[in-house]
Amino acid sequence: MSFPKNVAPQQPIIRRVRFPIRIKITAPYLILSLLLAVAAAYLIMQLVMENLEERFNKQLYEAGKISSELIVSYETELLQTQRLLANAEGISSAIRANNADALKSLTLGIIANDGQEAVEFFDAQGNHALSVRHRSDANPEDYDFSSGRQTSFSSLEIVQNVLNQKSDAKGDKFADLVRTDSGDFLYVAGPVYDPQGKLAGVVLVGRSLSTMALDMRDSTFAQITFYDPSGQVIQSTLPSPPELEPKTTSRIVLLKDVSSAKRDISNQRDFNTANIPFSEILGVLEVRGNHELGILGVALSQNAILQTSADSRWRIFFLILSALFLIILIGLNLANSITRPLTELVRASARVSTGDLDVRIDTRTNDEIAILTESFNRMVASLHKSKMELLDAYDHTLEGWAKALELRDKETQGHSERVIELTFRLAEEMGIRGEELVNIRRGALLHDIGKMGIPDHILHKKERLTEEEMAIIRKHPQFAYDMLNEIGFLQSALEIPYCHHEKWDGTGYPRGLKGEEIPIAARIFSIVDVWDAMTSDRSYRDAIPPEEVAAHLVDQSGQHFDPAVVDAFIRILRADGENE
């Protein structure tokens, strides 16, 4: 870890231990005998050791699970950027014209906004059009560009798959590890189509394994190592991690759906990190379509107490058992006072395992358990911060999508912001609270995201649309569903993009839902959407007076709209009118 010049690294705050657990345990036992005091101390040590060992294994497997989920999230981010670049207006024409300057102008904003490290463009014949690489240790917006050069990317299998217009169960996008002059990268490749649906080129979006490894280490507090299929180390946050035996990698791949492998890398001859013992969990590194790229290793340092031998445990057990009868009366009360904070830690850990990151434990003692409690509180606070930062990044991405759509459909600029605020108010008026409001906001923000799939000549047409063109327009809710359904983060926000054109009487689209079959979020938003559309100026008409629009909503109550939601919306309009 590096720090800015002239700034000292912040040291962790460690509480001073006033009353060590060993003293608390041994002092009362001195009344009976020194032997019983030592025996009781060993008993407590044994209990703590077993607890730590179990928790260490849980932490190791949890770190492995989180690391696997982060790989999926990195791939998802690359796919999102690839889709944005492939669907950006003017990209296909710039690729076909081999216009590197136009490509740079059209794509730099998207690339920098998504914080991607490497992007490659090729035309439909596999000719290189433009490379975009982020400068190492530079500002987020600093990129290097190159074009018109020979590159080995054209021969990559993922590029050839796109050029040959292949597809698999996941679609027409492909992912793989690629070794470059700048290091090893995870790339996602996908097609760029022109407005006529013909292949115009290929765009690859990549992230370096070194960046991924450091980010995963910050998120999991574990050491991360990427191995190739033969067990050779590709990238690691450890100084010199030992390689895997080929038979080990084969076993891991064979049993990938059954269990994960675990190994102790403390005693490897070529591994030395200040004599700190490490345990490593190993799993298959997979990307899109279960494509196996190698092995992912996640390592945590072991606590020294875990090195106690099995023979010592049995000796301590029989020693304590012989003295148990004499100390049971004192031990009951003492054990209760000592294990209470440990019990609170166990309960708090169980709550954290269910996703509750608001857990905090009060520190009531001045011993090692207090330090453990404070460390637990800091760990949970850090996890909560990471989660909120991740959610904030997702929401900013959604806002970027919405702004991109508004830039494409200039008639609706400002529409998203207005309908979000009014939808939020109407949802609260309907008694919706908590997480549902967050999902409604996201759904409102993405309500017309399906129009990304509507051709420009239809979306921007000034004349009356034909029946065939209207049929295509009516597909945008289904397009929205197809775009967002595979994104787990947006599953709960799909109701509005997918169902906001359904009608109360069942005459809407795309599924013809009727009455309360329509999700409440979509029923709420449909009213706000119509209100904003009718009260806003359009190229083909001026804004309609609010009182006429309100009368129209009441007239359509029970036909187009849910009567209860219409009543709630009218109450909001009347309240706004009284406050003016």
> CA-based angle 39:41:43, to the nearest 5?
70
Q: State pTM to two decimals.
A: 0.47
Q: The domain at 222-305 falls in which architecture? A: 2-Layer Sandwich (3.30)
Give the three-state DSSP class for 561.
Answer: strand
Taking residues 284-292, report their average pLDDT. Answer: 83
Spatial contact of 458 and 472, defined as CB atoms under 8 Å apart: yes
pLDDT at position 4 is 37
pLDDT at site 83:
93
Cα-flanking dihedrals φ and ψ of residue 127, to 5°?
-80, 140
pLDDT in tens, 322-331: 666 666 666 5
Strand order of the sheet with strand 118-123? 143-146, 128-134, 118-123, 199-208, 183-193, 174-180
pLDDT at 390: 61
Look up tokens 């990559």; give the residue.
156
Give the model's pLDDT for residue 377. 80
User: Residue 37: pLDDT above 60?
Assistant: no
Q: How large is the average pLDDT for residues 505-524?
A: 93
Of 115, 107, 166, 104, the residue nearest 139 (C-alpha): 115
Q: What confidence category does residue 235 fall into, taking pLDDT thresholds of 50, 70 and 90?
A: very high
Please give the pLDDT value at position 304. Answer: 43
Amino acid identity at 481: Y
Residue 566 has pLDDT above 80, yes or no: yes
Domain ranges (residues) in the chain: 88-211, 222-305, 409-579
| 3-state helix, strand and coil shares in percent for the chain, rounded to the nearest 5 | 55, 15, 30
Q: Please tell me the distance from the alpha carbon of residue 19 to that of residue 406, in angstroms, as a whole number.
A: 64
**Which CATH architecture group holds 88-211?**
2-Layer Sandwich (3.30)
pLDDT in the model for residue 36: 60
Scanning 164-258, the segments in alpha helix (DSSP H) are: 209-220, 246-254
Can you tell me which residue has the tokens 């590029």?
159
The phi and psi torsions of 50 (rounded to 5 degrees) equal -65, -40
Contacts of 526 (CB under 8 A, 6+ apart): 500, 501, 502, 503, 560, 561
What sign results for the dihedral spanned by CA atoms 248, 250, 252, 254?
Answer: negative
CB crowding 311-333: b at 16 or more within 10 Å, else e = eeeeebeebbeebeeebeeebee
User: Homologous superfamily of 409-579 in CATH?
Assistant: Hypothetical protein af1432 (1.10.3210.10)
What are the phi and psi torsion angles at 229 (to 5°)? -60, -20
Half-sphere exposure of 221 (CA within 13 A, CB side): 13
Stretch 182-193: mean pLDDT: 93
Identify which of 219-223, 270-274, 315-319, 387-391 has the greatest average pLDDT.
Answer: 219-223
387 falls in which pLDDT band (50, 70, 90)?
Answer: low
Window from 31-40, 65-74, 237-246, 250-259 with minimum mean pLDDT: 31-40
- Closest CA relative to residue 222, chosen from 354, 75, 65: 65
Same fold, 88-211 and 222-305: yes
Q: Which residues pair with 500 in a beta bridge?
A: none
Query: DSSP letter string over 277-330?
Result: -EEEEEEEEEEGGGEEEEEEEEEEEPPGGGG--HHHHHHHHHHHHHHHHHHHHH
Q: What is the pLDDT of residues 62-120, one digit of tens each?
A: 888 899 899 999 999 999 999 999 999 999 999 999 999 999 999 999 999 999 999 99
Q: Do the beta carbons of residue 242 and residue 270 sit within 8 Å? A: yes
Range in 20-29, 125-134, 143-152, 174-183 the model is least confident about: 20-29
